[in-house]
Structure 1
């Protein structure tokens, strides 16, 4: 096809030249120039130019570059033309409304690599690379060895400034109030929970957009910013796909199939993944208790062993229908069915001031869970004649349910009875809908200006029914005090208007977004309601200047919001342990952040340097707080009776926060197939706030939450080739210590490595690797309260050894 195009252009040029020599010898001119790669400045041989007369669309001329990237097109009639430059795997270059009255040299034309096109033809980068845009950074997921057989959670952990802690919680620049999107839409499949991200295979991910300071075009949710995961959709003609199998120790098995069919008028895409795995882990709580004179009165040790077993089937399928050259409709369905059998064994030991054991007890929980989610998405896209003139419309409907049945057996050692048998059932239903309309209108010379306008409506409904009771004589007796039903709905309607203008090397964007929120919370057991309605405005300003195609700076501002989730609003306690509880707070308000950021990017021949300076101020910060309730759990065995204090964790709007810092990444490519990367993120966080509460003993407790701390995180990676075409890669992650007025958390780190080799003409790849080589990725924290000191350890995932096999076909 490429040869035919070259021949057509050559013949066209020759025929036009002959005609022009006869008919226009006195009114024709010559067009010359050079076409090169914007990054390397290497000439691009066989790049094509297409020239169309504005006044006579039937007249088309053109040419092809030689090995030096040069082109010469002779005998072009004087006139006004549109010029298009194309080269495979590069973005098309447009030069419109060019008036030619004499021979002209267009100079050096720079073409940029089209990363999306590269991914479509499977010319994937050897390592994740970054693009800096006006309002976001794009990390293209390449053949990162440590990601083979991994998940979306592993991909995010490999991105600079993104961290995944020991519990699987994702944070961006040290802030876990981050919004995660799938293909630009909120995914309601498990709420994009840490567990849901672990089920999404890396092979389905094309790139991740990191938007630390989103413009008004994006949803305002997430004070830390947005992580937008873009999934792959094959554009190859014909049948193509891949099969991936992964096995790990501890026990983990995953099998995935990706299959696509591309024809002229439609594109079918699908992905099926089945996972069967175990997640062993543990947590430890040590509590020292003191009286009001600060004299130690007792000690409690609580050890939890975690044995979690998951089975998960995920199916994604869709079809893109090409209605014509400018319009398409895409229908897709995502379905997940999961089951789990999780065992939590809790051993509790209480000691007196002489460290003699007073009471030993065990509380074992066996949880049987079943979950099913389905999401339907509809997308319509219309491209108009001018470049970038687009209308898109989206609708998404999803529903999910999760049923958890927990059997609890608590035994006090030394008693003659058989223990306490309890059962807790959680029935969780969720329905979400999204409607979205976006319109982009470019205008001006070379279409360097544009207006964007749109609407977005998100409608969420939850029904969380929790039933708890005791098993007495093989009968379930409901406990109405601890049972509850939460009905929650949140509707957010938003509209935005954004204007962008380019002035040679300078560009600017101004936007405004308005969101109206309706929130309703109903607790059916006591008929208490909490309804809120509020309207907020979210401006954004983005400025950038490009010194060269390799060096640029940007300055931006935006306002963000973080609304409390249904779980954080639910006031009923999680009672896996009777003396260490968590409950939500229905009085929580959203928190607001004003964020400023300065970015600098420079690319040399072998080194790329990208840095950002940022400052943000957040009001009504939602923070974890620890409360000494004043309540006790009376525990008796044959010789002793103790009153174990109950400590609870909850959420409060308690402070305002100032955060400023530096985020820098350096990448060095000393030679072909070598890549070294270093990321350093450091910030200072200042909290100013306090809170008070009255415990069950009618005591007023005041807590000062002022804090000023410096924290840093870092990551480093190295990739290099070995003998026999084997590639090696190692990654190191470090998350610095985190302190506030109540809790001090130690730093944690992790080291990974992997080997990979392609065989059978690169159709098959085999890789092996180890995650967390030293089994050190665990959290250690200490909390100091008025009458207690609590020490906590947590390891959610252990070191694992994995092997992955991938076969690609087309």
Structure 2
């Protein structure tokens, strides 16, 4: 029985009795708190009800995350009860009493009903998606779609989030997203975030938080918002854990385990996993090349297949030490290792201007890679006497190494003498140190002051080399030091609540192309204000208005002049002189809860200066007469992004739950780009562009006979124009079934990712008097996975008896429902 269902049942009971009520001339307030007996932890979603002895009318409320409740009644005689037997607590009866003025009752301590715990099958199951006013929380544990998958699969199932064929993550269509792990930029994400997300197992993730307009407490990075990945961490008493084994087609298999032991003064936790995956993909590009006068010079059809093999290990070990009743010290060490191979085989079918075949060129890029990441983190949390008053200190140190090498064989098919062999080496190292402290001080009844410091210091070194030629070889050094201070204050006045904050960040960045003897230092500092105002229309609906300023710093492949050589006629090239972009984000939101439906919607506007755009241009080099086209990011003047989004959680029946998301957005780019081509001509390109697009996702979960769960996810991304072409529409469907076995200690799950094998990136590109092309890219074919989960010393839906932790801004705004 999930929390939403409890809320619906309780609300329905109150609603039916309230229909017969007449408004009283005077109302008084009843309030109090509910805790769990033995642990003294707050109990949330506990229904507290009062019945008028004379009129038999019902009044009441649900407890919030702190165990608090409050509601209004007319003066009179009442009996009360706290009845949460559906989640296995003994009923508490409140004796009859006359209430004539505002009264604080309790506190109440609920005792677990042991006999009932043995019989209950479903206990406080969380909904897959929880909608809150300032964020959406996606609970991974209840989603069958990602069993045996990766974190990238997890994100691709989160409302408002999309992951394209290349692994790029976007939030509401905006790729300028900051990805955090446990509220912090983690060293586990390594040098290439998209690749790391494809390697980390989904089973290690507890939930994903989507924050579209973060407060000043958060890092200002990410113009499109923040995605926070929360790693699973057991908190149940005693020894408990689970093990998951999976196998799939194309060939993949894995095993992961979570082990925890909690005592009076400590909590040991660990996550260990192994996985092997084969993710075959393919792409095609049909291109027509033009002469300078616009006439056709030739056609080239490119067909590519790749087989991505990866074998990885990951482990996390940690301990929480309760040094005193108010002081907790947490230490954790995490490492990840992955070895991969990717034979990338490309055939170039060449045709003349009349489309007659001329020759076929084959290019095989046989690449290998090995990665290793290690991170140590420590956290001190000091809680003071007043509830919510605390100080936290975090330190994290990480190192990453990613070495990639490849041998490239290039020849004209049928002409052995044309064989040409090259070797590429791409070695990357990263070191990151993070220091952070946060202080929270409650002021008065509803006020809260927060302040903190964050220092992030990282060094990156990339060595890219091609043998026997050194044309594209380069060594790039990237050093980034960012010091930040923030302060914010929030409070509540009647039905209004607000949060006002200011963040200051000082940035010192070196981008040094050592091979080219090109050294760039960028020093800048910025203020990042944020503000949120909420109004509680009723106890079930709220309206919010928020503003924040964000920054997006270029990193990795965006800066490296030469980082890819899989094709010798289409080359990606970074831009070491690219500048960060700044975004002003405004969001107006509305949230309403009915008995069976939760609805949230928002209208948003993002104004970005110096936004990143990818342009394609001729390099001046030719391969067999074919011009080499360079793709590179540049800063354009302005980007205006506006959109409308809504999310639905609907439970029409106890056995059927629906989640839906729709996002319509308009993106306008204004800017010109001027460069000098290889002939010395100055070329001016106008990148003014207006793109209107939308995405939608619906998820349905049905409980079939014999307690078989069936889940279906369907996604559609509408077409979108770009400055130099168009991204075409794309639809995909995921499917999953699961069944609990072994008295609910085990679960068998079967999931199919991309049921119709349709998840592809379809693009049209046009460069006037140079090339016109159509391309399709499929990063991974349809995947079928069978998994088995076994839990020991805990039931499938055992209620985690833990107090909500306040880490890195995860708490809700003051006064929010």
Aligned partners of 2:491 and 2:498 also within 8 Å: yes
Q: Deviations over 1:522-568 (max 9, x none)?
A: 22223210011001110011000112231111100000000111321
Change (3 A) 1:210 1:68: closer
- For 1:473-492, list aligned pairs within 5 A: 479-492=469-482
- For 1:486-505, list aligned pairs within 5 A: 486-505=476-495
Change (3 A) 1:69 1:94: closer
Change (3 A) 1:412 1:261: same
Moved more, 357-366 or 367-376: 357-366
2:459 to 437, 461, 474: 461
- For 1:672-683, list aligned pairs within 5 A: 672-683=654-665
- For 1:448-597, list aligned pairs within 5 A: 448-470=446-468, 479-572=469-562, 574-597=564-587
Q: Using CA pairs under 8 Å that are at least 6 residues apart, name the structure with larger relative contact order, 1 or 2.
A: 2
Report the CA distance between 1:176 and its aligned residue.
0.7
Q: Deviations over 1:412-436 (max 9, x none)?
A: 2343526111111111111001000
Report the CA distance between 1:481 and its aligned residue.
3.3
Partner of 1:130: 130
Aligned partners of 2:31 and 2:105 also within 8 Å: no
Report the CA distance between 1:70 and its aligned residue.
4.8
Moved more, 206-215 or 564-573: 564-573
Aligned partners of 1:48 and 1:86 also within 8 Å: no
Moved more, 332-341 or 718-727: 718-727
Report the CA distance between 1:208 and its aligned residue.
1.7
Aligned partners of 2:191 and 2:400 also within 8 Å: no
Question: SS of 2:577's equivalent?
Answer: coil
Partner of 1:729: 711
Aligned partners of 2:191 and 2:430 also within 8 Å: no
Change (3 A) 1:761 1:520: same
- For 1:103-114, list aligned pairs within 5 A: 104=100, 106=102
**Alpha-carbon separation, structure 2, partners of 1:512 and 1:167:** 36
Whose radius of gyration is greater, 1 or 2?
1
**Alpha-carbon separation, structure 2, partners of 1:131 and 1:110:** 30
- For 1:259-298, list aligned pairs within 5 A: 259-298=259-298
Report the CA distance between 1:124 and its aligned residue.
5.7
Aligned partners of 1:210 and 1:227 also within 8 Å: yes
**Alpha-carbon separation, structure 1, partners of 2:62 and 2:611:** 51
Aligned partners of 2:129 and 2:659 also within 8 Å: no
Aligned partners of 2:150 and 2:197 also within 8 Å: yes
Change (3 A) 1:67 1:507: closer
Aligned partners of 1:39 and 1:550 also within 8 Å: no
**Alpha-carbon separation, structure 1, partners of 2:708 and 2:34:** 47
The answer to whether structure 1 residue 658 and structure 2 residue 640 are counterparts is yes
| Runs of 4+ with >6 A deviation | 36-39, 47-52, 85-89, 107-112
Partner of 1:741: 723
Q: Deviations over 1:648-671 (max 9, x none)?
A: 100000231111111111222111
The answer to whether structure 1 residue 794 and structure 2 residue 777 are counterparts is yes
Moved more, 201-210 or 374-383: 201-210
**Alpha-carbon separation, structure 2, partners of 1:349 and 1:223:** 41
- For 1:21-100, list aligned pairs within 5 A: 40-41=10-11, 69-70=49-50, 91-93=66-68
The answer to whether structure 1 residue 684 and structure 2 residue 679 are counterparts is no
Cα-Cα RMSD: 2.9
Report the CA distance between 1:43 and its aligned residue.
9.0
Aligned partners of 1:488 and 1:521 also within 8 Å: yes
Question: SS of 2:145's equivalent?
Answer: helix
Q: Deviations over 1:359-407 (max 9, x none)?
A: 3211111111111110000111011111111100000000011111111
**Alpha-carbon separation, structure 1, partners of 2:570 and 2:391:** 52
**Alpha-carbon separation, structure 2, partners of 1:514 and 1:762:** 51
Report the CA distance between 1:349 and its aligned residue.
2.2
Q: Deviations over 1:281-317 (max 9, x none)?
A: 1112222111122111111122211111000000011
**Alpha-carbon separation, structure 1, partners of 2:363 and 2:236:** 56
Partner of 1:326: 326
**Alpha-carbon separation, structure 1, partners of 2:124 and 2:204:** 13
**Alpha-carbon separation, structure 1, partners of 2:365 and 2:502:** 50
- For 1:394-473, list aligned pairs within 5 A: 394-417=394-417, 419-444=419-444, 446=445, 448-470=446-468
Report the CA distance between 1:50 and its aligned residue.
7.8
Change (3 A) 1:788 1:549: same
Given the two structures, how large is their TM-score scaled by the length of structure 2?
0.84
Partner of 1:307: 307
Aligned partners of 1:86 and 1:92 also within 8 Å: no
Aligned partners of 2:695 and 2:718 also within 8 Å: yes
**Alpha-carbon separation, structure 1, partners of 2:503 and 2:689:** 33
**Alpha-carbon separation, structure 2, partners of 1:202 and 1:523:** 37
Aligned partners of 2:11 and 2:595 also within 8 Å: no
Aligned partners of 1:209 and 1:227 also within 8 Å: yes
Change (3 A) 1:707 1:482: closer
Partner of 1:169: 168
Q: Deviations over 1:328-349 (max 9, x none)?
A: 0100011011101110011112
**Alpha-carbon separation, structure 2, partners of 1:335 and 1:310:** 16
Report the CA distance between 1:89 and its aligned residue.
9.6
Aligned partners of 2:183 and 2:229 also within 8 Å: yes
Question: SS of 1:138's equivalent?
Answer: strand
Report the CA distance between 1:68 and its aligned residue.
7.9
Report the CA distance between 1:192 and its aligned residue.
6.4
Question: SS of 2:631's equivalent?
Answer: strand
Report the CA distance between 1:719 and its aligned residue.
1.3
Report the CA distance between 1:319 and its aligned residue.
0.5
Question: SS of 1:571's equivalent?
Answer: coil
| Structure 2 residue ranges without an equivalent (≥5) | 1-5, 15-29, 36-45, 53-59, 71-97, 111-116, 794-817
Given the two structures, how large is their TM-score scaled by the length of structure 1?
0.84
| Structure 1 residue ranges without an equivalent (≥5) | 1-35, 53-65, 73-84, 96-101, 471-478, 636-642
**Alpha-carbon separation, structure 2, partners of 1:360 and 1:138:** 51
Question: SS of 2:206's equivalent?
Answer: strand
Aligned partners of 1:38 and 1:111 also within 8 Å: no
Q: Deviations over 1:660-717 (max 9, x none)?
A: 1111112221111311222111011111111121121212222111111210000111
**Alpha-carbon separation, structure 1, partners of 2:576 and 2:131:** 42
Moved more, 798-807 or 693-702: 693-702
Change (3 A) 1:365 1:556: same
**Alpha-carbon separation, structure 1, partners of 2:187 and 2:718:** 32
Question: SS of 1:774's equivalent?
Answer: coil
- For 1:744-759, list aligned pairs within 5 A: 744-759=726-741
Partner of 2:804: none
The answer to whether structure 1 residue 202 and structure 2 residue 202 are counterparts is yes
Question: SS of 1:203's equivalent?
Answer: helix
**Alpha-carbon separation, structure 2, partners of 1:515 and 1:441:** 23
**Alpha-carbon separation, structure 2, partners of 1:228 and 1:590:** 22
Q: Deviations over 1:566-621 (max 9, x none)?
A: 32111225222111101011111110110110110111111111100111111111
Question: SS of 2:571's equivalent?
Answer: strand
- For 1:602-617, list aligned pairs within 5 A: 602-617=592-607
Aligned partners of 2:48 and 2:62 also within 8 Å: no
Question: SS of 1:198's equivalent?
Answer: helix
**Alpha-carbon separation, structure 2, partners of 1:772 and 1:547:** 41
Question: SS of 1:567's equivalent?
Answer: helix
**Alpha-carbon separation, structure 2, partners of 1:609 and 1:109:** 33
The answer to whether structure 1 residue 701 and structure 2 residue 699 are counterparts is no
Question: SS of 1:670's equivalent?
Answer: strand
Partner of 1:644: 626
